[in-house]
Structure formats: structure tokens, C-alpha cells
Amino acid sequence: MSKRKKSKSRNRTRGKQQAKATPAKRWPAPGLLLFAAAIAGSAFLVFLVQPMVGKRLLPWYGGAPGVWALCLAFYQVTLFAGYAYAHLLLRLGRPRLEWGLHALLFAFAFWALPVLPGETFRPQASSDAATGILTALVANVALPFLFLAATGPLVQTWFARAHPGRAPYFLYALSNAGSLGALFAYPLLFEPNFGLIQTGTTWSAGFAAIGLAVLACGGVALARRGAAEPASEDPAPADTHEAGVRPVALWMALPCVAVMLLMGISNQLCLDVASVPFLWILPLAVYLVTFILSFASERFYRRGPFVALVVITALALPIADPAFSDPAPLTTFQSRPIAISLYLLLLFGTCMVLHGELYRRRPAVTALSSYYLWISAGGALGGLFVGIVAEHWFIDYYEVPVAFAAWWLLVLGLAMRDSRSRIHFSTSPWRRLAATALAAGVVFAMASHERFRTSGVIHQERSFFGVLRVITSAEGEAPAHVLRHGTTLHGLQFTSGNLRSFPTAYYGFAGGVGLTLQSAAQGAPLRVGVIGLGVGTLAAYGRPGDLYRFYEIDPAVVSLARTSGFFTFLGDSQADIEVVEADGRLALEEEERRGEPGWDVLVVDAFSSDAVPVHLLTREAFELYAQRLGPKGILALHVSNRHLDLTNLSFRLARAQGLAAAEIRTASAPQLTTVPSRWVVIAREPQQLADLLTSIGSASRKLRLPGDHVGVALPIEPRRGGSAPIWTDDYSDLLSILSTPRG
């Protein structure tokens, strides 16, 4: 055949192929929109369900940060299970069977709704927290989460079948964009405007819609298998098509270290640097942004600049981080914003490198499900390490330096094997030696940074609820032991002389609760209940015949207050002391069922940090408090808080129960070892409250305090329709009570 005839033949063949492909050009826009909506919507629901279910579980377990860590570990493992399911499904090689089995999973997942655990999963006072949380998650969340988790690899594979000439990896960036949207939508849109049950119902409707969209994507893939498409603009690297041992190891190691850095830095930021509402959103947002940038295009990633950013940030951290530069417990740290920014920059730089290298090593579409399976396996391992292993192995948040060292090992190894790198094995060995020395120096700086944390610490332990430190401190000329939980002061006791028996800090003689207890202790023995043990400071007010019962959810705090020898308020008290290891609200409910006598004074001291146990500030909680008070009982709420206005919320809740309330603000009184504090005192009748305020004023004068030492604020009657909604077990809005930060 002549060249001319061959050319004509090729042109005719090409024309026929183009003619056959022409109908497909009429539908790509809506078709792509369907795939985009399915994958972004699935990711949105995955990230929306996490804070929603967490909000239901947190109140049942005292608002402990360990609840969120355990939930995150569960989600990581379930994400891996979803990817494994998708991988096995795709290996069947039978598209119609794939679609049918996934439709069956959707039906079972829809049957398992709603995802919010019901009252049957509410724990008993003495139940194990970890077991109860996992049981509730498996029973309610596992199937819907599994279906949504499988969406990523399935929809991308179906997209590749429907569009064989296009790379599907941009959909992974879109998936993370959906996750980022949910991250901000929940606290800014859903929580302020919808109750928890309503949000759960909306989520169920969204699950039904997205589930149908996912199945529709599968239907499109079945209908368009083998259709001609233009060549991919973003092909996979030619040397990473096979899922060999080395690629798989990197597919696991890179996301594993990224998740360890995310969770470790989140813990360190929220518990040690600054306990600020919504701060946990920032590191997670940074993590997702690095995924979006890395998988959107390889143009966003260059190894050198991001490694330089990490080096500079890591060296600056020991100077700027207030949690290490000054261990004094009552210091107002002015460098918090700088430290937060540096931690976020460190996370951004390290995760850009990890996710950028992960994208560089993406395989051909034929190995796509394996790729995402191993990515999810690495993330699950990282989550399990931080959420479970680190809690038992470490006494501090050492996962950050451990992950940082692992990051450097990965970076050096990858750079030395990269022919384009300046420290490739073919270059001078001195370059590799210099790079290794730099990495070792930066890791040492980070490790030293962690070591400095122990300055002044005589005891430290880590539990499900966080890290507790007992610190030696000299308040004036007197030595003292201080208990801190992150940035939150749990109590202080002097260790010598008569000062040893003095109540201190927020609970001193000149503070709101101290003046209240002195006013109440005028006659018969008192029954005093206290939610929140700390170091047991309030036991110092106990008299012979009094009963003081403390409710504490953290066994480590109980041990430190009772048997450690660092604090002796409980042992030295003249009152009968009881300690109940349980969430305070659950324990009070159990007492009410047993018909126990009410309390003369009920103290709720669980709001000093910004991880507020919301279940203690709802209408249902205040109904319980009212039931547990004696006929002349007083409720005292500690509302000192740098970032949240708990006073007006407490006033509204008291008004809803027909109770009378007032805020007592007290100034510093060093001579009486008392720091400034704010307490809301609540009584059954206005006259009873007025008598209490008169007694508090008299007690203040007896202590020879200045006339302006005690300030009293009464509720202002709201204008009609102007009062904010009160919190309930179904509705709460942390954003609505944010206030100007206080020192």
C-alpha cells in the first residue's frame, strides 16, 4: 500500500474515532459535575459527622480531649476499612457486581441511620470511657462512614473508566476541599443555627442524596466504559506504575508521619500553648490545605523552599513557645500568637513536603485503589500511634519530636535518591554529610525544646484526659506545689508552715466561693458537693461534722489529690471527705435516683479551661442542680475564663428554672493567697440571694478587704425577643459566648 493510501486510511480511521467520540462531548460538563458533587459531598459529610458525633459523646465523658483523640483514631481506622473495601471491590473486575454490592452497602448504611448515638449509649457513672465510646461509634457511625470512606477510590476509578484519557487525581484535591468546607461549616453555620438532632436529620438527608449521586457515578461508568477521551494532561510518573514494596512503604510512611504531626501539634497547641476555643480547627485546616495544593497540581510543590521553611520555624520555636520559656503557673503569656503561628507554619511546611512527595509517587490509574488503600493505612497507623500508643508509652506529647525526626529521615532518604537533588548519591559526600548534620541539629533543637518542658516539674503523667504536671513554685517567699493541666491551673498548695492549710488561688478566703462558704458556715454542719476536684483545695473549709463530696472524672487527678503526697488538703480537712470517680452530672443523677438528701452548697468548678464541658451548662443540667439543692441550698459556678462569657449564659439558665442569680467578682488579695476570680451564685428565692450577698459583704469586711474588693453584678432583664437561646442537651453554640480575651 502506498504512503498516500496509508495516510488516507489513517485519516478515515481517525475521523471515525472522532465521530464515535463526538456524542461524549455533549455531556462532560454535567457528567464531571456529578463526579465532583459526589466526591466533595462525601468528604463534606465525613468531616461533618466527626464534630457532630463528638458533640454528642463529649458531654457524656466530661468533655475530655481524650474523647476526641479516640474518635479520631476510630475514624482513621474506619477510613482504612473503607479504602480496603473499595480495593477488594475493584479487584473483582466485574463492574456490575461492584455497583450492586456498593448499592447493598448503601442500603444497610441508610438502615443504620441516624448516626447520633441514642440515650441507650449514655454511660453509667462507673463505666469505662474508651469501651463506651467505641461501642457507640461502631453501632451508629461505622456503616455510613464506611460507605462514604469508600467513595474516594471508587468514584475516582469510575471516573477513569468513564474518561479513560483523564487522570482522576484532581478529584482527591476536591475531596479535601469538601472536608475543609465542612470543617468551617459546622462551628460557623450548623452549630449556631441548628440543634444537634436537627443537624443529624439534615446529615441523614444529605447522606441519602450523596449516596444516590455516588451510585449514579457508578452507573455512568458502566454506560461509558471505553469511551474515547483526550490524553491526560497530568499523567502519572512512568516509574511508579507498579505497587512494589518500596512505593507501598512510602505510600504508608508519608501519610503516617503527616497524621502524627497533625495530631501531636494539635494536642500541643490546644493543651499546652493556648486553650482557645476553635483553635483545633486551624491545624486541621492547614493539613487539608496541604493535601489540596499537593494533589491539585505538582506545580505547587518544591522540596527545597518547604524544607527551608521547616528549618527556620523549628529553630524559632524554642524561643517563642511560652509553654516552655516560663513554667510559672499564673503567668499571662504574651507570645501565644507567635507560638501558634510557628506551630502552624511547621505543620504546613512538613505536610507540604510529605503530601508533595506522596503525589509525586502517584501510580497509574490501574493501581489507584492500592494507592489510596496504603495511604489510608498509613494515616490509620499514625492516628493509632498518637491516639492510643502514645497515651500509654509517653508522659508528654513526645509524638511531635518523634514524628519530626521521622520526617527528617524520610526527607533525607528521598532527597539522596532523587537524581535532581543536590545531595543525590552521585554528588559530593560532603553535601550529604552537611545535610545530615543540619537535620540532626534541628532535631536536637526540637528534642531540647521538649526537654525544657520539664523545668520545675517534679511529677508528670499522661492519661486519657491529658498531661498533668506537678510543679514546684515559689509564690513570694513560700514554696508551693502547683498542679497544671496544660495551661489550666488546677490548684496550688504551700508546702510549709501555717500556709499549708490555707485555701489558695481561685478558692482563697477572699474569693467568691471562699466568701460564700464562710457565709454558709454559720450554723449546723454543711453538706457540700463539688464538681471538679483539682487538688481538693475547698476541703480546707471543712469543719467537724461537715460532708464534702468531690466528683472527679480523671482518676489521675484523684490519685494526685489523695495519695501522691504532693497535696494534702483532703487528708488534712476536718470534714468527712468523699471522692466519687465519675462525671459530676452522671453522679448527681444517680444520687437523685437513690433519693439522697440535697446539698447546702453545690459547687460546679469545671469551666476554667476553654474545653468547656457543655453538658454542665444546659437547661437539663440546671434542672438537675435545682433538684439536688436542699431547701436553702446555694449553687456556685466558677466562671473565670479568658475567652468565654459564661456569666450571661448562667443567668439565662438560672432564669429558665425560676432561680435568682448574681455574679461575684473579686480582686487579687495576695495577703490571703487569693487570685482574681468570677463566680455566679444562685439561690432558690431572690430574698435568699439578697441575704447571701449581705453575708458575703460582711465576711469581706471581717477580712479587712478594701471596699471595692467584691463586685456584684445582677442579671439585666432581656428585651422582648432579644434574649439569646439557652443551651440544652440538643443545642449549644460556643461561638455565641466568645468574649474579649482576659489575662
Residues 315 and 378 in one domain: yes
- Give me the pLDDT at residue 125, please: 57
278 in the same domain as 181: no
Q: Give yes or no for a contact between 561 and 536, defined as CB atoms under 8 angstroms apart.
A: yes
Question: For the residues 458-462, what does the mean pLDDT come to?
Answer: 84
Q: What is the pLDDT of residues 161-193, one digit of tens each?
A: 888 777 788 888 888 899 999 988 988 889 888
pLDDT class for 591, splitting at 50, 70, 90?
A: very high
Residues 404 and 537 reside in one and the same domain: no
**Predicted confidence (pLDDT) at residue 205 exceeds the cutoff of 50:** yes
Average pLDDT over all residues of the chain: 82
Domain boundary among 420, 452, 484: 452
| Mean predicted confidence (pLDDT) in 603-622 | 81
Q: Cα 81–87–92 angle (5° rounding)?
A: 130
Place of cell 451564685: 681
Q: Is the pLDDT of residue 286 over 70?
A: yes
Give the side-chain half-sphere CA count within 13 A for 520.
Answer: 29
20: pLDDT confidence band, cut at 50, 70 and 90? Answer: very low
Q: Which residue has the higher pLDDT, 277 or 115?
A: 115
Find all residues with CB under 8 Å of 216, minimum gap 6, and list them.
34, 38
pLDDT at 25: 41
614/705 same-domain check: yes
Residue with the larger pLDDT of the pair 15 and 388: 388
Do 278 and 396 share a domain, yes or no?
Answer: yes
Residue 703 belongs to domain with CATH number: 3.40.50.150
Confidence category of residue 6, pLDDT binned at 50, 70, 90: very low
491 within some domain = no
Domain-terminating residue out of 228, 263, 282: 228
**CATH number for the domain including 372?**
1.20.1250
Domain-located, residue 677: yes
Residues 91 and 200 in one domain: yes
Same domain, 404 and 431: yes
Identify which has the larger pLDDT, 226 or 715.
715
Nine-digit cell string for 191: 452549630
Examine the pLDDT at 264 and tell me if it is beyond 80: yes
Return the sign of the alpha-carbon dihedral for residues 97, 100, 106, 109: negative
Mean pLDDT for the stretch of residues 459-474: 81
The pLDDT tens digits of the residues spanning 478-488 come to 788 999 877 67
- Three-class SS of 714-725: CCCCCCCCCCCC
Whether residue 621 lies inside any domain: the answer is yes
CA distances for 390 relative to 312, 385, 417, 477, angstroms:
27, 6, 32, 38
For residues 179 and 43, the answer to whether their CB atoms sit within 8 Å is yes
Within-domain flag for 341: yes
Indicate if the pLDDT at residue 237 is higher than 90.
Answer: no
Q: Do 556 and 683 reside in the same domain of the chain?
A: yes
pTM for the structure as a whole = 0.78
pLDDT digits (tens, 9 = 90+) for 722-739: 566 788 888 888 777 776
- Could you report the per-residue pLDDT of 370-429, keeping only the tens digit for each? 888 899 899 888 888 887 787 778 777 778 888 888 898 888 888 878 777 777 666 777
Q: Are residues 140 and 283 in the same domain?
A: no
Average pLDDT for residues 512-535, to the nearest whole number?
91
Q: Quote the pLDDT of residue 266.
A: 85
Q: Which residue has the higher pLDDT, 65 or 521?
A: 521
Per-residue HEC secondary structure of 43-88 comes to HHHHHHHHHHHHHHHHHHHCCCHHHHHHHHHHHHHHHHHHHHHHHH
- How much of the chain exceeds pLDDT 90, in percent? 35
Domain count, the chain: 3
Closest CA to 622 of 644, 652, 648, 662: 652
CA dihedral 142→147→149→150, nearest 10 degrees, is: 140
Enumerate helices (H) and strands (E) in the chain, giving the number of each: 26, 12
Domain extent, residue 410, equals: 237-452
Q: How high is the pLDDT of residue 472?
A: 86
- Asked if residue 494 belongs to a domain, the reply is no
Alpha carbon separation from 246 to 153, 240, 243, 255, 396 (Å, rounded) = 21, 10, 8, 15, 33
Residue 453 — very low, low, confident or very high, per pLDDT cuts 50/70/90?
A: low
Domain boundary among 202, 228, 254: 228
Q: Is residue 10 part of a domain?
A: no
> Do residues 123 and 587 lie in contact, with contact meaning Cβ atoms separated by under 8 Å?
no
pLDDT per residue as tens digits for the range 678-713: 999 999 999 999 999 999 999 999 999 988 899 999
Query: Per the domain annotation, does 299 fall within a domain?
Result: yes
Percent of the chain's residues with pLDDT above 70:
83
3-state secondary structure of 424: coil
Higher pLDDT, 235 or 624: 624
- The position carrying cell 483539682 is 534
* Predicted local confidence at residue 232, as pLDDT: 47
Query: Based on the domain organization, do 302 and 419 belong to the same domain?
Result: yes
Same domain for 399 and 544: no
Query: What span, in angstroms and rounded, lies between the C-alpha atoms of 548 and 539?
Result: 7
Residue found by looking up cell 443545642 in the block: 731
Evaluate whether residue 531 is within a structural domain. yes
Residue 324 has pLDDT above 50, yes or no: no
pLDDT category of residue 221 using cuts at 50, 70 and 90: confident
Are 276 and 194 in the same domain?
no
Q: How confident is the model at residue 29 (pLDDT cuts 50, 70, 90)?
A: very low
